[in-house]
Amino acid sequence: MSSQLHSTLLLLPLFAAAAWGRGGGGGGASTAPSLEFHHRFSAPLRRWAEARGRALPGGWPAPGSAAYVAALAGHDRHRAVSAAGGGRSGAPPLTFAEGNATLKVSNLGFLHYALVTVGTPGQTFMVALDTGSDLFWLPCQCDGCTPPATAASGPATFYIPGMSSTSKAVPCNSNFCDLQKECSTALQCPYKMVYVSAGTSSSGFLVEDVLYLSTENAHPQILKAQIMLGCGRTQTGSFLDAAAPNGLFGLGIDEVSVPSILAQKGLTSNSFSMCFGRDGIGRIGFGDQGSSDQEETPLDINQQHPTYAITISGITIGNKPTDLDFITIFDTGTSFTYLADPAYTYITQSFHTQVQANRHAADSSIPFEYCYDLSSSEARFPIPDIILRTVTGSLFPVIDPGQVISIQEHEYVYCLAIVKSRKLNIIGQNFMTGLRVVFDRERKILGWKKFNCYDTDSSNPLSINSRNSSGFSSSTTENYSPQETRNPGGASQLRPLNNSSPAALYDSLLMMLILVHLAIMF
């Protein structure tokens, strides 16, 4: 089995004790130009080069290999700037100053990461994006602090409050401080976040500092927003060996989250969107409320523990529909999907009865119960569609429900990437793949639409805002990965990814690739 799947991650907080009270929770679209990019080792460019006798020294690197990843880190010097508008208010969305690109990193918990810059002068961090928690925290070094332990997955970059002229501690007597009894001094307010993954937590104290953002329109402008973040003195559990070694960016509903702060300051609508590409590359935009043609359903917000939860009223697996009511949380900080009975049993058994493939023998090293052998002569097999029906009748399509796992060299299994849960139902990142998901806290709705994260169209206000484009593939991508193509019978067919798909690749992803490489090496 691939070492990348020792465990799955659940970064939904069990509890949060910190410096804030409970709180939480607009755009028209305009036509945007669309550019098509081919990375330098795509099939079209390879055919073009070979036809002209322009062979590469050492030959063309194999997709997914170290040489392939390293070579793809070169700059293409193309730029795609969209003239798309913002949310329903007409204001352009905001994104991170380093660009709106996100990257799924398998070796770091199968989570999406983005580059953020904070402080004066700015320090840049590659942080995991988590809709299941609220606080944005960074591993921290400070006067009087014990230096954080180095993560097993690699050396982290530390936020140093004393090196930022705009950093200031949140005092214990602040109205936001809920842990006044635990304050060691009157100068700073502590926080502690404990997550569902066993033994996983972050603790430290809260500070205010500036976050660098950029408008997403034809003429991007850099903005500095005063936000609250955690100076993480101590991290435990998955943060030491599996995920977010460089920090976690909470996108939850509570008033301490960055989307809430941006809306409170009137910088954006109280909404944001994330696009999850099937190749692991995506986008994020603050203030984006989606498009008029997206599917929507109301959020079921528990005021005591607010999350992005919705009610499911039915499930269809291939040709087997059923009515089934349950509430589920949408959490980008959870690698795969967790379902409790009866939803888990219905989906997995209905899926199994419609798959014509040999079920893999039980394997304690694989977290999934339903896996199927893939022989060298079997590159694909049909899998049934999975569709969730919400209380409003909107249909949520699960485009890529599986995970291909390497058992040993040239041997793979395809697994239905759902983990059985005792109680919680959590839609993880894998069920959001291939979609643009809108977390609209202003209207209290969840929206979604099938979407190619590289495209812009008249119904999509999310623009491509990047510096120079550069080509690469994630260094953590399996040599064999699932991709589905629809057939007329309504089923999907499994096939390996190839490198002929168009790719718009960003300078910000180049820096992420370097940071991922460092994290994996050490």
- Residue 271 phi, psi (nearest 5): -165, 160
**Tokens 């205010």 sit at which residue?**
208
Cα-based distances in Å from 115 to 18, 313, 349: 25, 37, 40
| Tokens standing for residue 411 | 């041997």
Q: How far apart are CA 482 and CA 474, in angstroms?
A: 15
Q: Which of 130, 134, 178, 288 is catalytic?
A: 130
The number of residues making up the chain comes to 522
Q: Which of 178, 254, 288, 331 is catalytic?
A: 331
Cα-based distances in Å from 425 to 125, 182, 308, 360, 390: 31, 33, 12, 25, 14
Angle at 124 between CA 119 and CA 130, to 5 degrees: 100
Q: How far apart are CA 50 and CA 136, in angstroms?
A: 48
Q: How far apart are CA 118 and CA 139, in angstroms?
A: 13
Cα-based distances in Å from 334 to 8, 132, 331, 377, 452: 8, 8, 6, 33, 22
Residue 331 annotated in active site: yes
Q: Reduce the DSSP state of residue 388 to 3 states and report it.
A: strand
Residue 238 is classified by DSSP as H
Cα-based distances in Å from 388 to 142, 311, 314, 451: 47, 10, 6, 18
Question: Could you tell me which residues are beta bridge partners of residue 317?
Answer: 320, 386
Helix/strand/coil (H, E, C) string of 29-96? Answer: CCCCCCCCCCCCCCHHHHHHHHHCCCCCCCCCCCCCCHHHHHHCCCECCCCCECCCCCCCCCCCCEEE
Q: Reduce the DSSP state of residue 432 to 3 states and report it.
A: helix
Residue 400 annotated in active site: no
Q: Kindly list the catalytic residues.
A: 130, 331
